[in-house]
Amino acid sequence: MNNNLLGGLIIPPTMKMKYNTRGVTNPMDSQFTGCYGGVDLVLLPGETRWLPSTIAQHVAGQLAEYLFKKQDRRNPKSVIGVPQILNSILGDEIITKDRVENLSLADEIRQHEEAYARFVEAKRREDLLRDAEKV
């Protein structure tokens, strides 16, 4: 498998990332703070953060547990299980992994999110240029 392909898109070699990427979405109307390796990760209401896959899965698990415990237990048929909650808040894994230097966990998360934002912006520009050429 070519690690530089994402749904048919080529990830430029200048956008190297150490991990694959997954989105975690906070479906609540309130802020959620997860933690990984001593680093707090804040998810604002409705926000999706694109994190390294293992970190995203860990934080999504914390959020799913929180949402599971918050449910009204008076009607057992309406209770949604942790796996179903997890499926609704954790996005599919995107292959973005490449080898780069080792940083602190907080710096790695920051760098990963910045690199992913640059990737998305480049994709948007590419789409705009392609749409402009059609006109």
Quick one: which H or E segment has residue 82?
A: helix 82-89
pLDDT at 97: 79
Spans in the chain with pLDDT lower than 70:
1-16, 99-103, 135
DSSP state of 9: E
pLDDT at 125: 87
- In 3D space, the residue among 83, 72, 81, 87 whose CA is nearest the CA of residue 25 turns out to be 87
| Residue-averaged pLDDT of the chain | 84
**CB 28, CB 62: distance < 8 Å:** no
pLDDT at 72: 83
List CB contacts of 99: < 8 A, sequence separation 6 or more.
16, 18
**CB 3, CB 98: distance < 8 Å:** yes
pLDDT at 40: 95
pLDDT at 95: 82
pLDDT at 16: 67
| Helix, strand, coil share of the chain (percent; to 5) | 45, 20, 35
C-alpha 65/C-alpha 103 separation (Å) is 29
- In 3D space, the residue among 13, 11, 8, 33 whose CA is nearest the CA of residue 21 turns out to be 11
